[in-house]
Each structure stands twice: as C-alpha cells, then as structure tokens.
C-alpha cells in the first residue's frame, strides 16, 4: 500500500532530542497493556487494526502478542521512527508507513487506536473525517487522551511538551474531541483510563512535580474515547 506523504508535514522524530525517542515505548508499555485490557473486542484474529501516530510501532507489536490480529497498519509523520518500526516488526503481519493522508486505507480498518496523539493535531475535524473514511461499517476507534484543558497538569505540560516536541501543541477540551467526531456521524462514549497499577516515578520529574500527580493523572485525568462508525 503506497501512502501519500506531504513532506512539509513530516519530521524526523517526535522528540526534538532524537536520543529520547527510544524511551517512549518502554515508558508507555504499562499503559498500552492497560488499554488493551479495556477494549471490548476480545478476538481480533480476523481483524485489521490501525495505530494512528504509531511512533516506533511498539503498541501494535504488544497488541499482537496479547490479542493476535490478522493485519496491522501503523502510520506516523516521524520518518526515522517509522524506519525503526519497520526494523523491529520481524515476521509480524504489520505494515508501517509515513503518511499524511489516510485515503489508501479507506474502508479497510476494523479497529483503530491512537494513544496521546490527538492533542497535537491542528484540525480535529479533518482527523475525524479521515477516521470515518478508513473505518468499515461498525468500525471502532479507541482514542486515549490525557492532554486536554481539563487535565490538572495541563498548564504545566503545555509548556513542557512544547519544549520537547517537534509537533506544535494544541489546546483542546474533551468537548472539542467529542464534537469533532459527533459532527462526522460517529457515536461516541468515554470513560476514565483508570490506570490502577504501580506507577513508575523518578525524583525531579518535569511532568509530575508531586507523587500524587503521577497517580492521579493516569487514573482520573486521562480519558478513553470509544468512537464507533454506524452501520448503514
């Protein structure tokens, strides 16, 4: 599948410091595992799954380990990260691509995911339209987002993330995400992420000034939207 790429919309790595890119997968893995345990689709063996903003591809590799799928597709606009994803997939049935247009996957996806990606998108309406295009009838999109204006840490994170990311940071409320997808014709439900396991924490974290922040954020501030394309 050949993806359409507008080079003006891509970058080498999400992190301004490329050496930090490799740390993201390990840091996110416990939360990815929690997400996989939340989804209602227990059997993916005949499904095509999609990871929007896949970075180095770790989520799809973990998903296949826990709930094997028929085919996986991961896309990102970070060129070097996608090359690493391709090098790590081995024999797994996963395609990774740099893509700024999702048209090549129209009507092909059964279950889609994004993890802390939507807050970086300059146009939520466009994103909702693209997901509507790629999902088949009854297709489901799980979008995890804690970076929103109702997050108690957002005033701090807005600056910290802007300092470290090559992607411009947006300011969206949870209602902005909801409205973009409802306007496109999706049905939307939401729940707390509800992470209740041990949380890794290190002294002097820029993201978590207090230990309680590291506990409250993934339990209460982080949300999971379940976005469903209706059947005709």
pLDDT, tens digit (0-9, with 9 covering 90-100), for 189-199: 999 999 999 99
The 109-115 sheet, strands edge to edge:
94-98, 71-76, 48-52, 109-115, 135-145, 223-228, 187-192
Read off the DSSP letter of residue 41: -
pLDDT, tens digit (0-9, with 9 covering 90-100), for 76-132: 999 999 999 999 999 999 999 999 899 999 999 999 999 999 999 999 999 999 999
pLDDT of residue 6: 62
CATH number 2.60.40.1180 is the correct assignment for the domain at 7-228: no
Please tell me the pTM assigned to this model. 0.95
Q: How far is CA 106 from CA 41, 49, 98, in A?
A: 21, 13, 16
d(CA 196, CA 31): 10
pLDDT, tens digit (0-9, with 9 covering 90-100), for 207-230: 999 999 999 999 999 999 999 999
Whether the Cβ atoms of residue 55 and residue 22 lie closer than 8 Å to each other: no
Among residues 174, 182, 45, 163, the alpha carbon closest in space to that of 118 is found at 174
pLDDT, tens digit (0-9, with 9 covering 90-100), for 5-61: 665 688 888 888 877 777 887 889 999 999 999 999 999 999 999 999 999 999 999
């Amino acid at each position: 599948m050949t993806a359409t790429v507008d080079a003006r919309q891509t970058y080498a790595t999400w992190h301004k410091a490329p050496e930090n890119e490799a740390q993201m997968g390990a840091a996110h893995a416990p939360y990815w595992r929690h997400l996989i345990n939340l989804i209602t689709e227990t059997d993916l063996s005949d499904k095509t799954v999609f990871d929007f903003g896949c970075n180095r591809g770790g989520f799809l590799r973990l998903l296949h380990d826990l709930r094997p799928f028929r085919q996986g597709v991961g896309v990102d606009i970070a060129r070097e990260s996608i090359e690493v994803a391709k090098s790590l997939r081995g024999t797994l049935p996963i395609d990774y691509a740099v893509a700024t247009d999702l048209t090549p996957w129209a009507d092909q996806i059964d279950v889609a995911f994004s993890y802390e990606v939507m807050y970086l998108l300059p146009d939520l309406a466009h994103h909702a339209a693209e997901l509507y295009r790629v999902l088949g009838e009854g297709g489901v999109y799980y979008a995890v987002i804690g970076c929103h204006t109702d997050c108690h840490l957002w005033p701090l994170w807005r600056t910290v993330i802007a300092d470290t990311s090559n992607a411009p940071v947006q300011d969206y409320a949870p209602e902005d995400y909801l409205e973009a997808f409802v306007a496109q014709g999706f049905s939307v439900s939401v729940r707390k992420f509800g992470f209740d396991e041990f949380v890794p924490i290190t002294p002097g974290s820029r993201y978590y000034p207090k230990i309680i922040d590291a506990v409250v954020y993934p339990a209460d501030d982080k949300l999971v939207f379940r976005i469903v394309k209706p059947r005709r």
